[in-house]
Structure 1
Amino acid sequence: MSLFQNIVIMALLIIGAGFLSLTEIALAGARKVKLKILAETGDDRAQKVLDLQENSADFFAASQIGLNAVAILGGILGEGAFRPYFLSLVSGFYTGPWADTISFSLSFTLVTSLFILFADLMPKRLAMIAPEKIAVAVINPIQIFIIVCKPLAWFINMIANLLFRLFKVNTTRDDNITFDDISAVMDAGAQAGVLQKQEHHFIENVFELEERNVPSSMTTRENVVFFTLKESEESIRQKLAEYPYSKFLVCNNNIDDVIGYVDSKDILVRILNNQSLLQLNENTIRNVLTIPDTLTLSELLDRFRSTKEKFAVVINEYALVVGVITLSDIMITVMGDWVTPIEEEQQIIKRDNNSWLIDGSTPIEDLKHALALDEMPEEENYETLAGFMMYKLRKIPRPADTVIFDAYKFEVVDVDHFKIDQLLVTRLLERSEPETDQSEATE
């Protein structure tokens, strides 16, 4: 054959091998979620790709048969087609015993390079760019190719299956999507600009509802405003004016003796109707939902949904009230500043790029978001920043006590009756040790 004919044959072989390489990567890399969306829009080819992915053994066997056959044939034909021309070229400046070997090496290098570049590397890189689109486009011709190779593919798959069983290899594909998978997709979407930063934050918070316990979002015991059965009318009016809450606990004598709760709307109706508020009674007091402090926020959402309530009292294992929580508190956990009342004092105040003034009652999850920390040390032992300081210092903190973790210095600024009110958190620009804890208590 002439040089032109050899070149045409080699080009056809390279195109065939390139098509198989393109198809193999596209069908393997096509994401099921996108294919299902295409199938739901009426594209039958997308459904064929899904079916092929479910039973891919025949396809991969046929693909390997085609790729190896073409590669071997290309090597045989290429070596015989191009070696005489390279031999003539080499003979022009070298006629020794190594001339034939040199021409063979040049011919082999040329054919191998052409197959690597045009039949392997470029097709696979193209397939990775848009695997779903390419998979849908090539599914019909590749099904014909699979039928042609079916007999030999069946024989090869039979041997492969026997070997898998012999070595007890599980060949079932696990398509379960984990939280890490979803998180990785969200991170990729945020980096690509598909998800806005705030949207990414919302989605992360929704998934954290399964991990965050109720105490991380509740109003703590010392901040709960409640009425007693003998509360004076003047005191009730004053609390309604001072605290713009929609619901108030009603207790007998102290906060641990809970009777129920009242809705501020019911009290306002009595005020508008000029009715006395001297005594709270069963007409205004409602039964309150009581929950343990071990519930997660996700479990509490289910409890709110089943009871049709939006307000709950949180108790600990000793039946003591540790706080109250509402549906709005959960929404604030998810939405953050978007639903936090403007007049409400912020728990985290950014002073500059390297320092924050943070309330001691700030939940650890909110702290990690603000400081871009993946985890805190042994965080299962505490819920708030104040708890973190007490856990690390192993004592009741005092002003100027500090803890250094990761690249941050946590310093106690204000303590009120053993309660840590505020801390100054500073990013350390230079650190001599990877992690140190220290306490500098003022006597």
Structure 2
Amino acid sequence: MSLFEHLAVLLALVLAAGFLSLTEISLAGARKIKLKLLAQAGDERAQKVMVLQAPSAEFFAVSQLGLNAIAILGGILGEGAMRPFFLDWLSVVYSGPGRENVAFVLSFVFVTTLFVLFSDLMPKRLAMIAPETTAMAVIRPVLLIIRIFKPFSWALNLVANMLFRLFGVNMTREDRITFDEISAVVEAGAQAGVLQKQEQHFIENVFELESRTVTSTMTTRENVVFFNLSEPEDSIRQKIAQHALSKFPVCDGVIDRVIGYVDTRDLLVRLLNNQSQFQLNESSIRTVLMIPDTLTLSELLDRFRATKETFAIIINEYALVVGVITLSDIMVTVMGRWGSPLEADQQALQRDDGSWLIDGSTPVADMKRVLELESLPEEEHYETAAGFMMFMLRKVPKPTDSVEYQGMRFEVLDVDHYRIDQLLVKRLERGAASPPQDTPAVAQRM
């Protein structure tokens, strides 16, 4: 064979290997979710790709058989064709010993570079740009190749499966999608400009409903405004006027003896019907939904949907009231606070020096988002910023008590009846010594 014929055969082998590399990466990288959407839109090629992906071992056996055979054949032909050429070229400039070895090395480098560049690197990079489109474009010739080489692939897979069983390797592919994977996709969409930053927060907050308990969003016990069963009308009117609330619990003397709740719309109807006086009785008190403090926000949404209620009392294992929660509280968790800028930023305020004032009732998830922290130690033990400090301090906090974690200092600013009202969070200077992230430092002033 002439040099031209050798080069033509070598070029054909390179293109064949490049095609196999292209199809291998595109079939492995094609996402099932996108393929399902394309199949539902009527593209039968997408359905064929999904069918081939399920028993993918059959195609990969053919692909590896072809790639290895082509590589070996290309090396034999390439070395035989290119070594005489390089030898003649070397004879012009060098006629000493070792020309054969140098010509062999040059032919080897040339053929290897040719295959790596055009049969491996470039096809795989092209396939990763649009794996679904590429997979659908090559699916028909791929199915034909599998049919031709089916006996060889069957024999190879038989041996491979025997070896896998011998070593106890589980070959079942899991297609479960975790929250972390969805969060990563959403973040990638936000970075690419497909999703706005606000939309990204909405999606992440919806998934947080599964992990956040009702205590992270509730109105705490000390802030609950309630009516006594024997409360006079003037006191009821005053509480309604002072507090912009639509529902008030009704208790028999103390907050832990809940009887029901009153909807202010019912009282408004009485006033519109010229009933100037109203009392708390069976006709005005509604049955209240009582829920445990271990319930998640997602489970509470199901309860609200089933009972057609939008208001609930939260109790702990000792049947003591720990707070109240409404449907609006859950919506605030998803969408963020609305209203005036002061109301929207009341839980986390950034000062001019870059430090943060964090309200003690701020949910852990919101505090992490504001401070750009990926995690906090043992988050399952607390729900709020105040809970984080109490967990880290291991005592009832006092003003000026502080904790250092991940290059930040969390300091207690204000305590009201053993309850942390506000934290000051400062980022430590780089020159300052900071402990490892998994062993936070605690500074306490007795």
Partner of 2:101: 101
Partner of 2:445: 440
Report if the CA contact (8 A) 2:415-2:421 is conserved: yes
Report if the CA contact (8 A) 1:260-1:285 is conserved: yes
From the superposition, tell whether residues 381 and 394 of structure 1 become closer, same or farther in structure 2 (CA, over 3 Å). Answer: same
In 2, Cα distance between equivalents of 1:54 and 1:377: 40
Partner of 1:65: 65
Partner of 1:168: 168
C-alpha deviations, 1:381-402, integer Å up to 9, x for none? 3222222223333333232222
From the superposition, tell whether residues 73 and 437 of structure 1 become closer, same or farther in structure 2 (CA, over 3 Å). Answer: same
Deviates more, 1:429-438 or 1:339-348: 339-348
Identity %: 65
- Alpha-carbon offset, residue 94 of structure 1: 3.5
Q: Is 2:10 aligned against 1:10?
A: yes
Q: Is 2:335 aligned against 1:335?
A: yes
Partner of 2:231: 231
Deviates more, 1:172-181 or 1:338-347: 338-347
Partner of 1:356: 356
TM value normalised by structure 2:
0.94
From the superposition, tell whether residues 338 and 140 of structure 1 become closer, same or farther in structure 2 (CA, over 3 Å). Answer: farther
Partner of 1:402: 402
In the alignment of these two chains, the number of paired residues is 441
Amino acid at match of 1:374: E
Report if the CA contact (8 A) 1:26-1:127 is conserved: yes
In 1, Cα distance between equivalents of 2:151 and 2:205: 53
Deviates more, 1:391-400 or 1:70-79: 391-400
- Alpha-carbon offset, residue 265 of structure 1: 0.2
Partner of 1:23: 23
From the superposition, tell whether residues 341 and 226 of structure 1 become closer, same or farther in structure 2 (CA, over 3 Å). Answer: farther
Q: Unpaired runs of 5+ in structure 1? A: none
2:410 is paired with a residue whose SS is: strand
Report if the CA contact (8 A) 1:221-1:322 is conserved: yes
TM value normalised by structure 1:
0.95
- Alpha-carbon offset, residue 188 of structure 1: 1.7
In 2, Cα distance between equivalents of 1:221 and 1:344: 22
Partner of 1:273: 273
Partner of 2:43: 43
In 2, Cα distance between equivalents of 1:168 and 1:420: 55
Report if the CA contact (8 A) 1:332-1:339 is conserved: no
Q: Unpaired runs of 5+ in structure 2? A: none
In 2, Cα distance between equivalents of 1:339 and 1:59: 58
Partner of 2:383: 383
- Alpha-carbon offset, residue 331 of structure 1: 0.8
In 2, Cα distance between equivalents of 1:163 and 1:381: 46
Report if the CA contact (8 A) 2:26-2:134 is conserved: yes
Amino acid at match of 2:445: E
Amino acid at match of 1:165: R
1:172-191 → structure 2 map (5 Å cutoff): 172-191=172-191
1:276-287 → structure 2 map (5 Å cutoff): 276-287=276-287
Q: Is 2:131 aligned against 1:126?
A: no
CA RMSD of aligned residues (A): 1.8
Amino acid at match of 1:23: T
- Alpha-carbon offset, residue 206 of structure 1: 1.2
1:139-218 → structure 2 map (5 Å cutoff): 139-218=139-218
1:248 is paired with a residue whose SS is: strand
2:423 is paired with a residue whose SS is: strand
- Alpha-carbon offset, residue 343 of structure 1: 5.1
